[in-house]
Structure 1
Amino acid sequence: MNATTARGALLAALACVLVGGSFTANSLLGDYPYAGGQFLRYGLACLLLLPIVGPDARARLRALAPRQWARLALLATVGMVGFNLAVIAAERTAEPAVPGVFVGCAPVVVAVLVPLLERRRPRRTVLGGAWLVVLGACAVQGWGRTDGTGIAFSVCALAGEVGFAVLAVPVLRPLGPRLLSATVCGIAAVESAAAGALLDGGAWLRRPDATETAALLWQAVIVTVIGFVCWYIGMQRLGAERATLFSGLIPVAAACTAPLVGTGSYGIPQAVGSALVGAGVVLGCRTRQSPPRYEGLRQLARKQV
């Protein structure tokens, strides 16, 4: 693992640990309107990201094609607003571990889906590491009671987690991690406001109390601003397949932080699952990322010379 890959791995790991901590913060927002909370979270994050997007941000945004804007809107809808809504809806009829187990399957889905979209075979070591990560995530979370509705919304949450990575791949290069994060946060804030006004009327937004304010600030500043930028930098350096392996750290972080607020415990199953997640990440990241096509041609020309 070279220095670039190592930095990407550290940033992807940090992002997923921060997201795992956000599940604990979500437990403090149970009485706050969903759409209003998402609007405040993503709106504040967008404002905080704007100063660091770079001087040529407007030019890069103007250069985007309509289909790329459509992809960004879909990314915000599926991977951000829709993902969070699916998790909340699933937990109405299912124990929290159920959507967690489904979301934990994201590394396997991405390890298969991304190569298919790029018309190549999945890498064996990445796929093997992904299965270890899934087993570890399931061991950390266990399984809970549910019904058909809970399973359906858990599948939607899995689709959102996969979409957050896969949909970003074609727009990550032209926008870069910071501008991409700011753009999708702005779009998600608008979508949340529209959904809140449509579904909840005037009750979609209210002033949060002290506890809710602290939780929303954590989600906006730490999880979204820092977490999203770190995630997309890591994905840029590792590729979507290997970066998604680190999503197995999300339930590990959630299990570690839950005892801090009295909503869970950390025992032997969580320790064993954490070890499996770590082993899967190490195995999957041992695969060298294929060089771009133009780089391969350049190396071939050097050999011929």
Structure 2
Amino acid sequence: MNKKVWLIYGMLALATSTWGSAFIAGKYAVLSFEPATVAFLRFFGAAILLFPIMWIMVKNHTKPTLKDYGLFAILGLTGIAIYNICFFLASKHAPVIKSSLFIASNPVLIVLLSGLFLKEKITKNNIIGMIIALTGVAFIITNGHLLTLFQLGFEPIDWILLGAVVSWALYSVVGKIVLKKYTSVESTTYAVAFGTLFLLPFALFETTWQDVQLATWDAWVAIAHMSVFVTVVSFIMYYQGIKEVGAAKASIFINVMPVSAVIMATVFLGESFTFAHGIGAVCVLTGVYVGTNTKKWTLFKRQNKLRVQTKDSA
């Protein structure tokens, strides 16, 4: 493997691990602001940066139609507004380790929704991957005591996390439609713009000028970090990686996100990583890999079956 490829892989790992830092930054930001306000400030800052970047990077702009604006609005509502309200509510009320590992199961749901709405083929491996990932999520929610899920049901924050997972999956599925016509930079920029507009009324309702004045420097630094590095810089690095090595290889690095979040939560926030979290993490990451890398998994099983047959005939 040449040096350039290693640099690209390093860039992808840095981009996705930076996404994990959003869980930590969110913890600091929600100490000064309510969740919707944190989301608004994050994406307002990102929008200011993204529009000039879009105009520089995209030479031949496609003028959006009314239908296109409708799709961008759906992207803004699901992936920017609803997802981030749920995300920052979880930042306020749930441990980072639980939130990050829960949300890590997202790719499997994206595959299933793509099959439902985009008529993409759902394979047996997709279903198996989903079951393994959801088993991992159940371990994380119950801290290893699976029977309590049937006795007590979901906690309120678990429903919030589920809302985050579903809204991001819907955003990803609609995004696949939009990306057939627009570049990733254009799609993200317009989605962020609409999402910021949707978040504005909530921010105005829940935040006073006094809240702004009393906000700590930690909160402002956390919001700036999420605007500049998590939303803009990491996005550019990730899509540059897709351009260089392809979406399939780049998507594997998304699994770095929950790992980095868990490590940073234990180091910076002093959260405890339990044995149940470990089992859950292994299940989630295995389920995501099986459910989203269907061709590789099928090839592996065929090769394994061929080895067994060769041994038997020897």
Structure 2 residue identity aligned to 1:52: I
In the alignment, the residues of structure 1 paired with residue 284 and residue 130 of structure 2 have an alpha-carbon distance, to the nearest angstrom, of 9
Please give the residue correspondences for 1:212-291 in structure 2 after superposition, counting only pairs within 5 Å: 212-230=219-237, 237-238=246-247, 248-266=255-273, 268-280=275-287, 282-283=289-290, 284-285=292-293, 287=295
**RMSD of aligned C-alpha atoms?**
3.9
Aligned pair partner of 2:195 in 171, 177, 188: 188
Measure how far apart 1:14 and its partner are: 5.0
Partner of 1:26: 26
Determine if the alignment matches structure 1 residue 121 to structure 2 residue 121: yes
Contact 2:141–2:158, Cα closer than 8 Å, also in 1: no
1: CA distance, partners of 2:57 / 2:92: 44
Give the superposition deviation at 1:186.
2.4
The percentage of aligned residue pairs carrying the same residue is 18
* More displaced stretch, 142-151 vs 100-109: 142-151
The match for 2:168 is 161
Q: SS of the residue aligned with 2:272?
A: coil
Q: Compare 85-94 and 121-130 and name the one that shifted more.
A: 85-94
C-alpha distance in 1 between matches for 2:66 and 2:26: 34
* 1:47 and 2:48 matched: yes
Residue in 1 that maps onto 2:66: 66
Counterpart code for 2:202: A
State the Cα distance separating 1:84 from its structure 2 match: 2.0
In 2: Cα distance, 1:70 partner to 1:199 partner? 27
Aligned to 2:304: none
> With structure 1 as the length reference, what TM-score do the two structures score?
0.72
Contact 1:98 1:143 in 2 (8 A): no
Change (3 A) 1:138 1:10: farther
User: Is contact 1:75–1:184 with CA below 8 Å preserved after alignment?
Assistant: yes
Residue ranges of structure 1 left out of the alignment (5+ in a row):
1-5, 289-305
What secondary structure does 1:60 align onto? coil
Secondary structure of 2:28's match? Answer: coil
CA distance in structure 1 between the aligned counterparts of 2:254 and 2:131, rounded to whole angstroms:
12
**Which of structures 1 and 2 has the bigger CA Rg?**
2
Q: Measure the CA separation in 1 of the matches of 2:80 and 2:191.
A: 9
Q: 1:285 to 1:151 in 2, by over 3 A?
A: closer
TM-score, normalised by the number of residues in structure 2 = 0.70
Taking the aligned partners of 2:202 and 2:218, their CA distance within structure 1 comes to 24
The letter for the 1-side match of 2:180 is R
Deviation at 1:203, TM superposition (A): 5.7
2:117 corresponds to which letter in structure 1? L
What is the distance in 1 between the residues matched to 2:60 and 2:160? 39
CA contact (8 A) 1:172 1:180 kept: yes
The alpha carbon displacement at 1:28 in A equals: 0.8
Post-superposition offset of 1:37:
2.5
Contact 1:13-1:246 within 8 A present in 2 as well: yes
Hey, what's the Cα distance between the residues in 2 that align with 1:116 and 1:11? 33
Deviates more, 1:226-235 or 1:254-263: 226-235
Cα distance change of structure 1 residues 206 and 55 upon mapping to structure 2, 3 Å threshold: same
Q: 1:173 aligns with which of 163, 166, 180?
A: 180
- Give the Cα separation in 2 of the matches to 1:11 and 1:135: 31
Q: Which sections of structure 2, spanning at least 5 residues, go unmatched? A: 1-5, 144-151, 297-314
Aligned match of 1:299: none
Residue of structure 2 equivalent to 1:301: none
